Amino acid sequence: MKYVSVGGLRLPAVAVGCMRLNGLEEKVRERFIGSALDAGLNFFDHADIYGRGECESMFGAAVKALKIPRDKVVIQSKCGIVPGVMFDFSKKHILEAVDGSLKRLGTDHLDGLLLHRPDALAEPEEIAEAFFELEKSGKVGYFGVSNMHPMQIELVKSAVKQPIVADQLQFSPTNATMISNGIEANMLTDGAVARDGYILEYCRLHSITIQAWSPYQYGFFEGVYLGSGKYPELNAVIGRIAEKYGIEDVAVVAAWILRHPANMQMVTGTMNAKRLAAIAKGADVVLTREEWYKIYMAAGHILP
């Protein structure tokens, strides 16, 4: 298993995303979490809005039922979204959100906390006060953000004293604008547009771990590209590479993401234990440079 460093912690490069955990029956949920740990996948990514809090509660109950020691799991959660209403990075909201997550998860601390999408009304000083209290009280170990571009992170850092160690960003072969805007630099093509402010290079320069979410979806949750008739060339290339290495197509995607020298972490969304184990095998495969680019181009990107 490949490992990455996040906030000083050595973590599996494959993270277990818990957004759909409330879709499993109790015993199936327990078996899924147990299987993940058996496979060495002890990093679990949450958010207070997943299942409107149910996913955190169900995870906490499963960990308790399985009698898993707290130090055997690494728990990261996110806050800042009030679904359908607003984004809220106020000190009051952050502190209350963390307390809510801790209660639901049945723990006294989060290993990590990310701000969940940018709040247009964010005041860095309020974020800084919240982070200071959370760190001082021992409720949060490290801090990060999600879906932010460089200047938004710099704005947060203008007041926050703790390092920003992670940024969750949508990334996959089909959603790779952070790659294309570099490859197609100085061109008039769609791929040359820097929609994210060159966040990939920024994170590499500032030792911020990119946590790639929605690695198997195309568009914004429009569908899964693996097996889709919309991406015949991509599926053919992935299939040939999967056959070469004796792994499944989901593992090839993991290998593609983790091959990038930014040392990303991949956040899975599957609730199927066998599929999760298959994905994890991709962390042990190092694609050749040619294979990496074949997948990139098969997804519809160009090499000038």
Supply the pTM of this predicted model: 0.96
Sign of the dihedral through C-alpha 245, 236, 269, 117: positive
Distance between first and last Cα of the chain: 35
d(CA 34, CA 66): 8
pLDDT along the chain (304 residues), means of 10: 95 98 97 97 98 98 98 98 97 98 98 97 98 98 98 98 98 98 96 96 98 95 95 98 98 98 97 97 98 98 96
Contact 12, 267 (CB under 8 A): no
Interstrand relation of 209-213 and 110-115 (parallel, antiparallel or unpaired):
unpaired
Pairing mode, strands 265-268 and 14-17: parallel
Q: What's the pLDDT score for residue 218?
A: 95
pLDDT for 221: 84
pLDDT tens readout for residues 175-216: 999 999 999 999 999 999 999 999 999 999 999 999 999 999
How far apart are the C-alpha atoms of 290 and 300, rounded to whole Å?
16
Q: E-strand spans in 223-295?
A: 223-224, 265-268
The H or E element containing residue 218 is strand 217-218
Measure Cα distances from 15 to 7, 40, 43, 270 in Å.
15, 10, 5, 11
* Whether CATH 3.30.450.20 fits 12-176+198-285: no
3-state secondary structure 51-89: HHHHHHHHHHHHHHHCCCCHHHCEEEEEECEECCCEECC
For 4-70, give the secondary structure using H, E and C.
Answer: EEECCEEEECEEEECCCHHHCCHHHHHHHHHHHHHCCCCEEECCCCHHHHHHHHHHHHHHHHCCCCH
Contact by Cβ (8 Å): 130, 91: yes
Q: What is the pLDDT of residue 53?
A: 97
What are the backbone dihedrals phi and psi of residue 271, each rounded to the nearest 5 degrees, phi first?
-115, 15
Ramachandran sector of residue 147 (left: φ over 0; alpha: ψ -120 to 50; beta: rest): left
Distance between CA atoms of residues 3 and 139, nearest Å: 25
Could you tell me the two tokens for 266? 């991949």
- Looking at residue 1, its pLDDT comes to 87
Place of tokens 């630099």: 185
pLDDT of residue 105: 98
